């Protein structure tokens, strides 16, 4: 048995809060913006207003309200909060370099599989395990119904890629698209309450030839569709030429731009190439144009990038896009592990977060292989919670280490239940422990089945400390040995 000192109870920290305890329930402060001059969080921040959403975010992030306002006004932070979704269950959150690193989980059906109930289960799984935003990437049947159910149920911002639903409604042939089709779809989704939309406005006609030597060409679904449209019609990208019209729709509902990276690399060999950076340059121009129109903006990034190029990619995005929040997809740091791409990408995501990426889009074990189910969603979210938290630790974010220290103390004190409680995935931690030592008595045992009682190094360490403490108490502490200098 260990000494009483080892088992001295320390103040337990609450399970790390996913939702802060607020001074006032958020919904009491909701108000209508109809008829207001400044609609978006960006416009209101620039006018000097600290909105209820900014106050809420300040509490969640444990940051001063004025800092949140100034970061939003600077364009370095976004609060994706469609004014329609705000009247429902949305709990505002922030994405930006001053905030904690966020993660996104993608859900949505495909033409082959899934339905409303399954997608709601995935939403629940994602939010339960800590996803900060969720993208509905549905491309199958009943998209409107599924999305409405997701928005109505979701406390986190919902993102979409409007071109997917537009293509469904056009009957599947992108060549039939007219600019008005796309504008109408964005307006329809904005009215539903979508908080941010990925639009591939930065991919231009002149970029297409730059992709010809790539191994994997254009891997973004939206990017490849727009590329095909431009080739067929021999015209410039309509999502670029109608950018200001799209801004007008986004501003009306405070939909946040997620400027899509249609030319992101889809393989290690294609990373950081001319095509990728040509598009990034345009995304910088579009960021400034969206700000001029009063919109909130974040910018999407790669993709597949070897570890030694990740920091350079983040810094280049910050430079090109005036530090608008960077929302990275992974990146995967190797191409050779289908079935484990939640791991290959979480490595890249942790490095990207450390370098300054504001949000990490998860990848599941099914990436490149099939539509993720609820268990895949869980695996992806956990992998990315690890990546985001590791980045926050490396960036010395305020209080980021509190949970690590509490868990480490519980571990050293052999307080197994507390260790499980503080885990990102308590069920799995408990399950693994119980596979070999299921009885309750082992929940305070000073060893586990990995090393066994005789070789438990933490128990041996504690015994050494106990011996030293006993010697000090008895006055038998040995004198320090004098070191003889030559
Ligand atoms: S037995 Fe080994 S793994 Fe288990 S608690 Fe002790 S040191 Fe840790």
**Cis ω on the peptide bond leading into residue 417 (within 30° of 0)?**
no
Looking from the CA of residue 457, the nearest atom of ligand 1 is 7
Q: Is residue 113 over pLDDT 60?
A: yes
pTM above 0.85, yes or no: yes
| Lowest mean pLDDT segment, chosen from 235-244, 339-348, 473-482 | 473-482
Q: Measured between alpha carbons, how far is 334 from 368 in angstroms, rounded to an integer? A: 13
- Angle, alpha carbons 79-294-46 (nearest 5°): 70
Mean pLDDT, all residues of the chain: 91
* Rg (alpha carbons) of the chain, rounded to whole number: 25
Q: Which residues pair with 300 in a beta bridge?
A: 327
From 2, 457, 459, 460, mutation site for ligand 1 pocket: most ligand atoms within 8 A of C-beta: 457
- Angle, alpha carbons 282-175-110 (nearest 5°): 85
E strand map for 31-185: 77-78, 95-96, 102-107, 133-136, 158-160
DSSP 8-class letter at 338: T
Report how far apart, in Å, the C-alpha atoms of 333 and of each of 76, 410, 479 are. 27, 34, 54
Q: Which pLDDT score is estimated for 17?
A: 42
* Minimal-distance CA residue to ligand 1 atom 6: 456
Q: Looking at residues 177-205, what average pLDDT do you find?
A: 97
Q: Is residue 486 over pLDDT 70?
A: no
Residue 57: closest CA among 98, 105, 16? 98
Q: Measured between alpha carbons, how far is 138 from 161 in angstroms, rounded to an integer? A: 9
Q: Is residue 55 over pLDDT 70?
A: yes
CB 81 within 8 A of CB 190: no
Quickly state the pLDDT bin for 8 (edges 50, 70, 90). very low
Q: Measured between alpha carbons, how far is 474 from 479 in angstroms, rounded to an integer? A: 14
**Cis ω on the peptide bond leading into residue 331 (within 30° of 0)?**
yes
Q: Measured between alpha carbons, how far is 97 from 91 in angstroms, rounded to an integer? A: 20
Q: Measured between alpha carbons, how far is 436 from 449 in angstroms, rounded to an integer? A: 7
Q: Measured between alpha carbons, how far is 334 from 332 in angstroms, rounded to an integer? A: 6
d(CA 379, ligand 1 centre) in Å: 25
Q: Choose between 35 and 440: higher pLDDT.
A: 440
d(CA 484, ligand 1 centre) in Å: 39
| Kind of pairing between the strands at 359-361 and 326-329 | parallel
* Minimal-distance CA residue to ligand 1 atom 7: 456
CB of 456 closer than 6 angstroms to any ligand 1 atom = yes
Residue-level length of the chain: 486
Q: Is residue 267 over pLDDT 50?
A: yes
Quickly state the pLDDT bin for 142 (edges 50, 70, 90). confident
Q: Looking at residues 417-437, what average pLDDT do you find?
A: 95
d(CA 450, ligand 1 centre) in Å: 6
* Minimal-distance CA residue to ligand 1 atom 3: 450
Q: List, in order, residues 6 or more apart from 136 with CB less than 8 Å away.
A: 107, 108, 119, 146, 147, 150, 158, 159, 160
Q: Is residue 31 over pLDDT 80?
A: no
Q: Which pLDDT score is estimated for 243?
A: 98
From 456, 459, 460, 464, mutation site for ligand 1 pocket: most ligand atoms within 8 A of C-beta: 456
SS3 assignment, position 95? strand
Q: Is residue 300 over pLDDT 70?
A: yes
Quickly state the pLDDT bin for 326 (edges 50, 70, 90). very high
CB of 412 closer than 6 angstroms to any ligand 1 atom = no
Q: Which pLDDT score is estimated for 35?
A: 57
């Amino acid at each position: 048995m260990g000494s009483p000192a080892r088992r001295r109870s320390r103040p337990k920290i609450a399970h790390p809060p996913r939702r802060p305890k607020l001074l006032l329930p958020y919904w009491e402060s909701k108000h209508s913006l109809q008829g207001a001059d400044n609609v978006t969080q960006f416009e209101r921040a620039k006018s000097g207003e600290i909105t209820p959403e900014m106050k809420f975010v300040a509490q969640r992030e444990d940051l001063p309200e004025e800092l949140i306002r100034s970061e939003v006004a600077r364009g370095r932070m976004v609060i994706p909060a469609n004014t329609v979704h705000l009247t429902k269950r949305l709990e505002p959150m922030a994405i930006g370099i001053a905030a904690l690193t966020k993660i996104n989980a993608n859900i949505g059906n495909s033409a082959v599989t899934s339905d409303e109930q399954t997608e709601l289960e995935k939403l629940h799984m994602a939010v339960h395990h800590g996803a900060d935003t969720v993208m509905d990437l549905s491309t199958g049947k009943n998209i409107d119904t599924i999305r409405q159910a997701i928005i109505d149920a979701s406390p986190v911002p919902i993102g979409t890629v409007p071109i997917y639903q537009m293509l469904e409604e056009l009957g599947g042939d992108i060549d039939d698209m007219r600019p008005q089709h796309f504008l109408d779809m964005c307006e329809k989704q904005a009215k539903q309450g979508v908080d941010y939309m990925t639009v591939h406005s930065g991919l231009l006609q002149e970029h297409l030839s730059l992709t010809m030597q790539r191994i994997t060409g254009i891997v973004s679904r939206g990017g490849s569709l727009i590329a095909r449209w431009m080739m067929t019609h021999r015209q410039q990208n309509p999502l670029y030429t109608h950018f200001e019209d799209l801004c007008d729709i986004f501003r009306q509902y405070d939909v946040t731009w997620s400027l899509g990276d249609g030319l992101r690399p889809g393989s290690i060999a294609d990373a950081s190439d001319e095509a990728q950076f040509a598009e990034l340059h345009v995304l910088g121009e579009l960021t400034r144009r969206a700000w001029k129109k009063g919109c909130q903006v974040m910018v999407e990034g790669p993709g597949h990038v070897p570890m030694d190029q990740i920091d350079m990619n983040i810094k280049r995005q910050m430079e090109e896009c005036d530090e608008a929040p960077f929302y990275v997809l992974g990146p995967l740091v190797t191409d050779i592990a289908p079935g484990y791409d939640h791991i290959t990408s979480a490595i890249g995501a942790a490095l990207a977060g450390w370098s300054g990426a504001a949000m990490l889009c998860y990848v599941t074990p099914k990436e490149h292989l099939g539509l993720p189910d609820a268990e895949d969603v869980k695996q992806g979210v956990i992998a990315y919670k690890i990546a985001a938290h590791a980045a926050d630790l490396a960036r010395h974010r305020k209080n980021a280490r509190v949970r690590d220290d509490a868990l480490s103390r519980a571990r050293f004190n052999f307080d197994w239940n507390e260790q499980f409680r503080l885990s990102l995935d308590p069920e799995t931690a408990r399950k693994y422990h119980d596979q070999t030592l299921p009885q309750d008595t082992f929940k305070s045992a000073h060893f586990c089945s990995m090393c066994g009682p005789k070789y438990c190094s933490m128990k041996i360490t504690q015994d050494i400390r106990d011996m030293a403490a006993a010697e000090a108490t008895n006055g038998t502490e040995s004198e320090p040995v004098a070191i003889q200098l030559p």
